[in-house]
Structure 1
Amino acid sequence: MKTKYLSSVLVIALCAGMSFGSFAQEKKKETVGETVDKTGKAIGKTATKVGNKTAEVTVKGGAKVVDQTYKGMMAPDGTNVYIDGKNRKYYINKKGAKIYLKASQIRKRP
């Protein structure tokens, strides 16, 4: 009697284990719409990064031609400081925007 009871418990445990194992191995397949959304977001992020870098390089190139570089000084983020025609000091951030500085924000280069 004990053997019969033990074997039936063992069979039930094996069946339960197989059913749980089959759930763990099931993979969720992406639909075409989800794949397109992920790709679209990735392209959008990359396009934003490229656009920001292009703007930064363009503005820095223009600043080197038109404005003076403040020698021996750096901005809070460690980049060059430029002086425009109105004697205002500024630096160019990662998005290509001119950020004007107060005198207290300009540091000497080490």
Structure 2
Amino acid sequence: MSKIRIAIVAALMGSAISLTSMAQGIEKTAKKVGEKIDTTAKKVGNKTASTAVKGVSAIKDKIYKDKQAPGGEVVYIDSKDRKYYVDKKGKKVYLKPSQIKDKE
């Protein structure tokens, strides 16, 4: 009888170790998926904000024809005659005259 008990205890311990390592693997996978979702959500949010601000700027402000901002971005002129472009996060970046270039 003692050999059967030893075998059962060994099987139970092996199962417990296996379940523990499997749970750790699931936690790691869940963490990776959560990080991926967080990164993607930030990218989508930034793109949405950028598109919204560019849309409002195109309607409300003037577009500076034949000029571009660093990186080839569209240059807008607001009501106070300030020049700016909209970055990837949807923020208005005001430009110095030296930063405005002719379109290529």
Sort the TM-score into its range (normalised by shorter chain): 0.7 to 0.9
TM-score normalised according to structure 1 size: 0.72
Superposed, which structure 2 residues align to 1:51-70 within 5 Å?
51-70=45-64
Aligned-residue offset at 1:105 = 0.3
Q: Which residue of the partner structure matches residue 17 of structure 1?
A: none
> Please, which runs of 5 or more residues in structure 1 have no aligned partner?
1-27
State the alpha-carbon separation in 1 of the partners of residues 51 and 70 from structure 2.
19
Residue type at the aligned position of 1:48: K
Check if 1:47 corresponds to 2:34.
no
Residue type at the aligned position of 2:26: V
State the alpha-carbon separation in 1 of the partners of residues 93 and 71 from structure 2.
11
Name which one, 1 or 2, has greater alpha-carbon Rg.
1
Superposed, which structure 2 residues align to 1:1-40 within 5 Å?
31-40=25-34
Check if 1:92 corresponds to 2:72.
no
> Please, which runs of 5 or more residues in structure 2 have no aligned partner?
1-20
Moved more, 40-49 or 28-37: 28-37
Residue type at the aligned position of 2:78: D
Aligned-residue offset at 1:31 = 1.6
After the TM superposition, which parts of structure 1 deviate over 6 Å for at least 4 consecutive aligned residues? Answer: none
State the alpha-carbon separation in 1 of the partners of residues 57 and 77 from structure 2.
9
SS at match of 1:95: coil
RMSD across aligned positions (CA): 1.3
Aligned-residue offset at 1:77 = 1.1
Q: Among residues 85, 93, 109, which one is paired with 2:103 in the alignment?
A: 109
